[in-house]
Structure 1
Amino acid sequence: MPGDVLIRQLEYLVALGRERHFGRAAAACHVSQPTLSAAIRKLESELDAVIVLRGRRFEGFTDEGERVLGWAHRILAERDALYTDLDRMRGGLTATARIGAIPTAIPATPLITDLFGRRNPLARVRIEALPSREISRRLTEFELDAGVTYLDDETPPGTRRVELYRERYLLLLREDDPQAENDVVTWEAAAQLRLCALPPSMRNRRILDATMAAVGERLAPVVEADSVDGLYAHVAARRLASIVAHTWLHAFGVPAGMCARPLAEIRPRPVVGLIVPDRVPASIVAEALVDVVTGADIGRRLEEAVP
């Protein structure tokens, strides 16, 4: 008969799954490595299952270990939900809403957090800029409450979706560039400029690559940066051109000496939305986020920044 499983053992296991290293997992849990290793061995004994593949270092999880890790994420999430529900009954939501957002959506997140903060003044928010695939993974592993990402064929199954806006693209370029004289710039013309862009690991970049390919061109940036802040720095300091989502203008405006011109729309505008796990019972924090963005018309507010 299996013994009692302790919450602390599950926390150590989740940390090991996240860090993939015994020493780093122990440090994250503020315990010694022997303490963490002993707790996981005790968990294996209590479950009568080998969880960790061990060699000279951490080598991964067994099939049973992967299953136990999934349950560990779920049990800890339910524990946190219990605390959140009790806090809400006592005086309002006090939890931290954990939101992962694709880089091009980061400029739109203040509109979400403002609505959330007004409705839940005791709550906090943590925003992380993440690739769309990482958002999917962290939602699955209960490490995020919600994601702001593209709603397309890469959107993970098992999620609820609320459309926020439809992304359109602008070209940031020097005011003295000949293309600045055009009301609308073609993608073929944009491909010839010295550009900075997000890396191919980002869904936005893959969308831009596909659009360039549709007109027979290839996006070949001279600089790649994995954040919108990084792109802004190169546009502002080096005056490189960049293809940006219209959310850019809401947050950053246009750097001195640069201008923004719409790019020709040759494909449907990608839809960006809020996604939350579709679970029963639903996450209280996720439900609170869905409530504040539903019907908020965030798309209209973002469009107001575009000339």
Structure 2
Amino acid sequence: MIDKLEYFIALAREKHFAHAAAELGISQPTLSAAIRQLEDQLGVILVNRGSRFQSLTPEGQRVLEWARRIVGDTRTMREEMRAARKGLSGHIRLAAIPTTLAMVPRITAPFQEKHPDVTFSVTSTTSLQILSLLENLEIDAGLTYLENEPLGRVTSVPLHAERYHLITAVGNPLSDRESVTWKEVAGLSLCLMTADMQNRRIINQHFQEAGVNVRPRLESNSMIVLLSHVLTGRWSSIMPRNVARSFGFHREIAIVPITEPAAHHIVGLVATHREPFTPLVSALLHQARILAESGID
């Protein structure tokens, strides 16, 4: 039953039998047979399908909620028993919005020092995608904004107040200022995050509050791409100070606080709320709380 529920979750996520089968590493006939067996066991139709996947039925939507809960609890039980036998080990899947990537080693490094048998994978993505990945059990935790947009049912640990600064090459207009306003920054040739990033939506909001609309000359979902363009002297950008400093170009760029408003937005670690947490997620949340208490510059 657990295997069939995992197959069903994958199908609901991919919305395509062949794609879901490839994701699971099984044949499409095996997946189709497993879904039909699950429907027979439960006595309901889960998937509307003709020659291909169309949608989940109302019963399928409800079973999907149960499937996520049951599969999540089963994984938690297995991991807890493994930890009881061997100590903490396994793999943690993290996703992070680009502005938090510089923060990730401050969690992973001390965590792995305590638990050397734990490995990590870290991907960079949007805040909305992090919530989707958590819901579909594709990641264990995410680093994202805790304000501005709904998070759903998650456990969160606030880590840092993200404050925005003008990032520009030394010698460029405004580079010698102690502070600048959003309206002044709007007059520069800007490179900013893409529109699907919450960071960009926040920045757009502050420009609108200042009474200006901005069309950046370049967009990217990568902070290193933005900073690389800043270093040419042709573009300026808007980033949190700790992100700009993390790349080690202190002498070549100016980092100037933006005021009116001097806005800040809380970022932190989020994990799907469940009791009990898996031992790995529980330990990760504990490490995040240690980091929060130490303070992040």
By the TM > 0.5 criterion, same fold?
A: yes
For 1:238 and 1:82, locate their aligned partners in 2 and report how far apart those are by CA, in whole Å: 54
Q: Specify the alignment match of 2:206 in structure 1.
A: 211
**C-alpha contact (below 8 Å) 2:9/2:64 kept by paired residues:** yes
Q: Specify the alignment match of 2:2 in structure 1.
A: 7
**C-alpha contact (below 8 Å) 2:142/2:269 kept by paired residues:** yes
Deviation (angstroms), 1:115: 2.2
Q: How many residues align?
A: 297
**C-alpha contact (below 8 Å) 1:195/1:223 kept by paired residues:** yes
Give the letter for the 2:99 counterpart. Answer: T
Q: Specify the alignment match of 1:3 in structure 2.
A: none
Q: Deviations over 1:23-50 (max 9, x none)?
A: 1111112222112111111211111111
Aligned residue for 1:168, secondary structure, equals strand
**C-alpha contact (below 8 Å) 1:235/1:241 kept by paired residues:** yes
Q: 5+ unaligned residues in a row in structure 2: which ranges?
A: none
Distance 1:15 1:237, change over 3 A: farther
The yes-or-no answer on 1:36 pairing with 2:24 is no
Deviation (angstroms), 1:284: 2.2
Q: Specify the alignment match of 1:289 in structure 2.
A: 284
The yes-or-no answer on 1:63 pairing with 2:58 is yes
Deviation (angstroms), 1:132: 1.4
For 2:86 and 2:21, locate their aligned partners in 1 and report how far apart those are by CA, in whole Å: 35
For 2:166 and 2:248, locate their aligned partners in 1 and report how far apart those are by CA, in whole Å: 13
For 1:300 and 1:220, locate their aligned partners in 2 and report how far apart those are by CA, in whole Å: 35
Deviation (angstroms), 1:11: 2.2
Give TM-score, length-normalised by structure 1.
Answer: 0.89
Deviation (angstroms), 1:69: 1.9
Q: Deviating runs (4+, > 4 A) in structure 1?
A: none
The yes-or-no answer on 1:105 pairing with 2:103 is no
Q: Specify the alignment match of 1:169 in structure 2.
A: 164
Distance 1:25 1:282, change over 3 A: same
The yes-or-no answer on 1:197 pairing with 2:192 is yes
Give the letter for the 1:181 counterpart. Answer: D
**C-alpha contact (below 8 Å) 1:100/1:129 kept by paired residues:** yes
**C-alpha contact (below 8 Å) 2:79/2:278 kept by paired residues:** no
Distance 1:260 1:268, change over 3 A: closer
Q: Deviations over 1:262-287 (max 9, x none)?
A: 22251441111112222222232221
For 2:232 and 2:250, locate their aligned partners in 1 and report how far apart those are by CA, in whole Å: 9
Give TM-score, length-normalised by structure 2.
Answer: 0.92
Structure showing greater relative contact order (alpha-carbon pairs closer than 8 Å, 6 or more residues apart): 2
For 2:6 and 2:195, locate their aligned partners in 1 and report how far apart those are by CA, in whole Å: 34
The yes-or-no answer on 1:270 pairing with 2:265 is yes
Q: Deviations over 1:135-170 (max 9, x none)?
A: 222223332222211121424232222211111111
Q: Specify the alignment match of 1:251 in structure 2.
A: 246
For 1:115 and 1:265, locate their aligned partners in 2 and report how far apart those are by CA, in whole Å: 38
Deviation (angstroms), 1:19: 1.7
When the two chains are superposed, the root-mean-square deviation of aligned CA atoms in Å is 2.1
Give the letter for the 2:29 counterpart. Answer: P
The yes-or-no answer on 1:17 pairing with 2:17 is no
Distance 1:298 1:237, change over 3 A: farther
Q: Which moved more, 1:166-175 or 1:146-155?
A: 146-155
Q: Specify the alignment match of 1:224 in structure 2.
A: 219
Q: Deviations over 1:74-108 (max 9, x none)?
A: 22222221221122112321121222211111111
For 2:232 and 2:262, locate their aligned partners in 1 and report how far apart those are by CA, in whole Å: 31
Deviation (angstroms), 1:297: 4.1
Distance 1:158 1:30, change over 3 A: closer
Q: Which moved more, 1:229-238 or 1:210-219?
A: 229-238
Q: 5+ unaligned residues in a row in structure 1: which ranges?
A: 1-5
Q: Specify the alignment match of 1:146 in structure 2.
A: 141
Q: Specify the alignment match of 2:81 in structure 1.
A: 86
